[in-house]
Amino acid sequence: MSTQPSSPRTTIFGFSPLVLLTLAYPLTLALGSLYSLTIPASSPYNALTQSHDPATAPSYFARKDNLINIYFVKRGWFWFTLALFVFQYYQHYVHTPSTRRLAQAATRYAVATAVWILITQWAFGPAIVDRTFAASGGLCDLSARAAVEEARTDNAAVAAGKKVEGIVTGAGCRAAGGAWRGGHDISGHVFLLILGSGMLVLETVPFVQRRWNNMHIGTKAALGTAALSWWMLLMTATYFHTWFEKLTGLVVAFTTLGVMYILPKEIEAVKQVLGQPGS
Ligand SMILES: CCCCCCCC/C=C\CCCCCCCC(=O)SCCNC(=O)CCNC(=O)[C@H](O)C(C)(C)COP(=O)(O)O
Ligand SMILES: Nc1ncnc2c1ncn2[C@@H]1O[C@H](COP(=O)(O)O)[C@@H](OP(=O)(O)O)[C@H]1O
């Protein structure tokens, strides 16, 4: 059985993985935003749908119904969980088992999962992305549906009453046939993809460098998932959202990664609970 690496200090070309990630993600967003400037005017961007019209989409990846979006990103937390689990399983199997290290890795995962839930799914009511959207002036506009209803019922008063209802989530609004408009929409894709891939890279990197030619399948699964996430992040940066919506997605993901991987370096009590990958 091989021994567990003892030092958490890992550098790539002299830089720590944290520094490299801190540079790589904003650069990826900037690259995508720059590339989007080359999209021809014949493929106009629709701010309401936050995308290009599928009929004139500039690329397969500019379509919301692209298969990687549907099966990978939209179920992203499942895939990140699976990749982390497979990685930890092989790590435990190949290296010296340590219940403490495993418990700390599970706690890091639990923190990330809790934040993911609060930001994108449910925060004691609407998720934080929905609350921020509403707090910044967004609302569910049901006028398109109301217009259809007006034509059907010939009752403008009833239809007008449908314009704004007590719908407090983007998903609820879309389900009601309305448009979630007017507010600031933190990019859920940018948040999810940076948090998930950042975790995968930071969990595996101490082992990747030491065993570059001899990586176990768990490490390969984790890095493969991170690579696919990076590609989808570039696609989101290129074809979807405004730069400010992407920036806020990045800030929320970086804050979470900071709590998980920087705070334990600074505060001993946090280190006891969360540990550090590779230590
Ligand atoms: C340190 C590692 C320890 C790991 C220990 C874990 C043990 C787990 C055991 C087995 C693993 C397999 C089982 C996995 C269960 C995972 C449960 C789930 O996460 S299911 C949820 C799947 N759903 C998603 O991933 C939804 C993702 N989507 C979103 O977050 C949003 O839709 C969006 C951010 C993409 C934005 O949405 P939009 O509507 O604005 O496009
Ligand atoms: N890389 C990508 N590929 C396909 N669709 C993407 C995408 N990035 C963002 N989108 C879509 O853009 C919209 C805003 O995304 P988000 O707020 O999560 O960043 C979502 O649309 P839908 O909610 O209509 O599916 C999402 O599916």
pLDDT digits (tens, 9 = 90+) for 234-259: 999 999 999 999 999 999 999 999 99
Q: Which ligand lies nearest to the CA atom of residue 48 in the structure?
A: 2
Question: Active-site residue 52, yes or no?
Answer: no
pLDDT of residue 152: 53
Say if CB 180 and CB 140 are below 8 A apart. yes
List the one residue out of 250, 186, 226, 200 whose CA is nearest residue 29.
250
Q: Quote the ligand 2 centre to 92 CA distance (angstroms).
A: 36
Closest C-alpha residue for ligand 2 atom 1: 236
Convert the pLDDT of each residue in 179-204 to its tens digit.
888 999 999 999 999 999 999 999 99
- For ligand 1, mutation pick of 48, 73, 120 (most atoms within 8 Å of CB): 120
pLDDT reported for residue 214? 79
Return the bridge partners of 46, or none: 51
Ligand 1 centre to CA of 270 (Å) is: 25
Give yes or no for residue 187 CB within 6 A of ligand 2: yes
> Nearest C-alpha to atom 20 of ligand 1 is from which residue?
78
| Cα 4 to ligand 1 centroid, rounded to whole Å | 29
Residue whose token pair is 């209802």: 165
pLDDT number for residue 159: 43
- For residue 278, how far is its CA from the centre of ligand 2 (angstroms)? 34
Contact assessment for residue 218 and residue 88, using Cβ atoms and an 8 Å cutoff: yes
Take residue 270 and report the two structure tokens written for it. Answer: 């946090």
Sign, CA dihedral 57-63-68-73, equals positive
pLDDT in tens, the chain (279 residues): 344 444 445 677 788 888 999 999 999 999 999 999 999 999 999 888 889 999 999 999 999 999 999 999 999 999 999 999 999 999 888 777 788 999 999 999 999 999 999 999 999 999 999 999 999 999 998 876 555 555 555 554 444 444 455 788 999 998 888 888 899 999 999 999 999 999 999 999 988 877 777 789 999 999 999 999 999 999 999 999 999 999 999 999 999 999 999 999 999 999 999 999 987
Distance CA 184, CA 232 (A): 22
Report residue 138: phi and psi, to 5°.
-80, 150
For ligand 1, atom 32: residue with the closest CA: 74
Residue 3, token pair as written in the block: 């021994």
In the chain, % of residues over pLDDT 90: 70
The amino acid present at 184, given as its one-letter code, is: H
Nearest atom, ligand 1, residue 105 CA? 1
What is the identity of the amino acid at 149?
E
Predicted structure pTM score: 0.90
Q: Is the CB of 88 under 6 A from ligand 1?
A: yes
| Nearest residue (CA) to ligand 1, atom 24 | 75
SS3 string, the chain, reads: CCCCCCCCCCCECCECHHHHHHHHHHHHHHHHHHHHCCCCCCCCEECCCCEECHHHCCCHHHCCCCHHHHHHHCCHHHHHHHHHHHHHHHHHHHCCCCHHHHHHHHHHHHHHHHHHHHHHHCCCCCCHHHHHHHHCCCEEECHHHHHHHHHHHCCHHHHHHCCECCCCCHHHHHHCCCEEECCCCCCHHHHHHHHHHHHHHHHHHHHHHHCHHHCCHHHHHHHHHHHHHHHHHHHHHHHCCCHHHHHHHHHHHHHHHHHHHCHHHHCHHHHHHHCCCCC
Ligand 2, atom 9: closest residue by C-alpha = 236
ipTM computed for the complex: 0.89
Separation CA 229–CA 194 (nearest Å): 8
Report the percent of the chain where pLDDT is more than 70: 88
Which residue from 127, 112, 121, 103 is spatially nearest to 80, judged by alpha carbons?
A: 112
85 lines ligand 1 (CB under 6 A): yes
Q: What is the pLDDT of residue 12?
A: 77
